[in-house]
């Protein structure tokens, strides 16, 4: 295919890690942000797609339970085809692509087509899952060797092509990947060829995620322990004396929110801090943004205000978005930030105040409670009759603040600085998880997140789900949720994201 952009394409092979988004490497994130096309597998955490550009073409090529979306030759051809169009093509694979990931085969095909490529290693499930399970794969007193073995065989379903006699004779740690369905066969073969029936074994399913579950036993007992459980992929099996160290070293499964899947509905650039903290608490953050902010349909009102900024006495910011778009526009129309020097600056919420202060501008008033009503109370302590205020905000927002200030004798100009729109979800995986009851908590940080979530998912869906809890950042958001027919289970005393996360943690304390 001819390259219409006269630009050389390339293929980037990236290891996505074993599941936890935080285990993606910095280099991997860098290329995801630059990708124009992404081909990803079944075991890749789809939350990684939040690092991509909105226009990135995302193609699922995974294989589940032996059924492939595309066979390997077609995947190779697709990589080559997209690269020849002059695009940056990312091949995203779970774990490390060169450890039973067929990454070598894909790169061979790419190189044969004379297409430039890069390889970004990933945290393999071998080390990542073992660490999150609290099992060191080597230990000075217990194991000085490590063997990594595939537990699957695509060419022959009945058996695995392994020299069992040699494997069974090894004294160190054995790790089997992709062997969930052949666990009993693996155990049987090892004991048949001389491995002690008392050898410790651990099977870890969905390692490094909130769904992580571990079964421990010995080669002779693990079959009984797992017979009632349907251990399905992804699962990793560790065999050796190091398994006995788990009670001393395990940590992940003891974190306060371990096992809880918690949805973050904030927009991308404001969600990272919340996602990181949830991960620190052991939860599985599920990123499902329901708000996207874009420029207003018309800049005229804000431009007119900025060009005549000296007529105002006060500037009121009600959100971080308002701060970002206001100062971006100030720069675009080449106005001097020093023109704001005589204005009193008011903000709602510590994050909004922080965004202003980061620009080197002092904030005069931050109300005790982080809602419009509290700011009105604070401003009411000042003499504002005849004062003129500018509120750069969303095109559609609550009217209580400007309405009340006018009633108090002030002049108020509202200038649309941005508008919120519904984003396009990149996958339906989240909805399937929600419908199946696989989501523990939905967090809402504004009334808009509630309304948009219901718009994106269907207004009656949440009413049918009993397990999922609703957490709202404050009373206004909670009221919106209740008016929509939702039960609000978690409400912090302070209306901030850190307080919201603390309230969720308290809710699940035993």
| Residues annotated as part of the active site | 41, 63, 178
Return the structure tokens found at 143.
């194991």
Q: What are the Cα distances from residue 27, in Å, to 20, 24, 33?
A: 16, 8, 10
Q: What is the DSSP string of 461-474?
A: TGGG-SS-EEEESS
Report the C-alpha gap between 83 and 3 in whole angstroms: 9
Q: How many Å apart are CA 92 and CA 113, to the nearest integer?
A: 20
User: Could you give the CA distance from residue 163 to residue 99 in angstroms, rounded to a whole number?
Assistant: 19
Query: How would DSSP label each residue in 245-314?
Result: GHHHH--GGGSTTTT-EEEE-S-HHHHHHHHHHHHHTT-EEEE----EEE--S--HHHHHHHHTGGG-SE
In this structure, the dihedral spanned by the alpha carbons of residues 216, 219, 224 and 226, taken in order and rounded to 10 degrees, is 50
User: Residue 61: left (phi > 0), alpha (psi -120 to 50), or beta?
Assistant: alpha
- Which region, left, alpha or beta, applies to residue 458 given φ > 0 means left and ψ of -120 to 50 means alpha? left
Residue 237 C-beta-side C-alpha neighbours within 13 Å: 30
Three-class DSSP category at 414:
strand
Q: How far apart are CA 250 and CA 103, in angstroms?
A: 32
Starting at the edge strand found earlier in the chain, the sheet holding 261-264 runs 284-287, 261-264, 441-444, 469-472
Identify the three-state secondary structure at position 217. Answer: strand
Pairing label, strands 411-421, 10-15:
unpaired
Query: What span, in angstroms and rounded, lies between the C-alpha atoms of 250 and 277?
Result: 20
Distance between CA atoms of 107 and 112, rounded to whole angstroms? 8
Question: Comparing C-alpha atoms, which of 221, 164, 209 is closest to residue 190?
Answer: 164
Phi, psi of 441 (to 5 degrees): -140, 135
């Amino acid at each position: 295919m001819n390259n219409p952009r006269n630009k050389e394409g390339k293929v980037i092979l990236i290891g996505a890690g074993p599941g936890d988004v935080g285990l993606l490497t910095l280099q991997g994130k860098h290329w995801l942000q630059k990708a124009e096309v992404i081909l990803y597998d079944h075991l890749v955490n789809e939350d990684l797609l939040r690092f991509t550009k909105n226009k990135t073409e995302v193609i699922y090529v995974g294989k589940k339970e032996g059924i492939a979306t595309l066979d390997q030759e077609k995947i190779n051809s697709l990589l080559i085809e997209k690269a020849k169009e002059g695009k940056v093509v990312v091949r995203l694979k779970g774990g490390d692509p060169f450890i039973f990931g067929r990454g070598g085969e894909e790169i061979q095909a790419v190189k044969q087509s004379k297409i430039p490529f890069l390889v970004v290693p990933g945290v393999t499930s071998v080390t990542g899952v073992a660490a999150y399970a609290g099992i060191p794969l080597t230990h000075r007193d217990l194991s000085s060797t490590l063997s990594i073995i595939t537990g699957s065989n695509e060419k022959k379903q009945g058996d695995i092509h392994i020299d069992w006699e040699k494997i069974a004779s090894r004294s160190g740690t054995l790790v089997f990947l992709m062997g969930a369905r052949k666990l009993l066969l693996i155990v049987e073969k090892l004991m048949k060829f001389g491995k002690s029936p008392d050898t410790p074994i651990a099977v870890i399913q969905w390692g490094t995620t909130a769904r992580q579950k571990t079964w421990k036993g010995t080669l002779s007992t693990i079959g009984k322990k797992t017979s009632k459980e349907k251990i399905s992929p992804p699962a990793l099996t560790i065999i050796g004396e190091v398994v006995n160290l788990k009670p001393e070293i395990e940590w992940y499964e003891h974190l306060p929110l371990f096992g809880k899947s918690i949805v973050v509905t904030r927009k991308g650039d404001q969600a990272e801090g919340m996602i990181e903290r949830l991960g620190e608490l052991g939860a599985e953050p599920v990123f499902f943004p329901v708000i996207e902010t874009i420029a207003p349909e018309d800049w005229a009102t804000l431009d007119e205000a900025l060009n005549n900024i000296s007529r105002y006495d006060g500037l009121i910011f009600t959100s971080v978005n308002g701060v970002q778009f206001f100062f971006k526009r100030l720069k675009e129309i080449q106005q001097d930030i020093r023109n704001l020097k005589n204005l009193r600056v008011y903000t709602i919420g510590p994050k909004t105040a922080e965004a202003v202060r980061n620009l080197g501008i002092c904030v005069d008033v931050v109300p005790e409670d982080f809602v419009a009503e509290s700011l009105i109370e604070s401003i009411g302590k000042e003499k504002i009759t005849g004062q003129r205020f500018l509120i750069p905000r969303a095109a559609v927002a609550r009217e209580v603040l400007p309405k009340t200030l006018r009633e108090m004798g002030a002049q108020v100009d509202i200038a649309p600085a941005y508008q919120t729109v519904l984003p396009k979800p990149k996958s339906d995986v989240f909805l399937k998880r929600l419908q199946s009851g696989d989501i523990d908590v939905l967090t809402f940080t504004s009334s808009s997140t509630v309304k948009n979530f219901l718009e994106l998912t269907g207004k009656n869906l949440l009413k049918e789900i009993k397990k999922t809890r609703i957490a709202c950042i404050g009373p206004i958001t909670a009221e919106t949720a209740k008016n929509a027919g939702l039960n609000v289970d978690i409400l912090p005393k302070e209306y901030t994201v850190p307080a919201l996360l603390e309230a969720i943690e308290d809710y699940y304390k035993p």
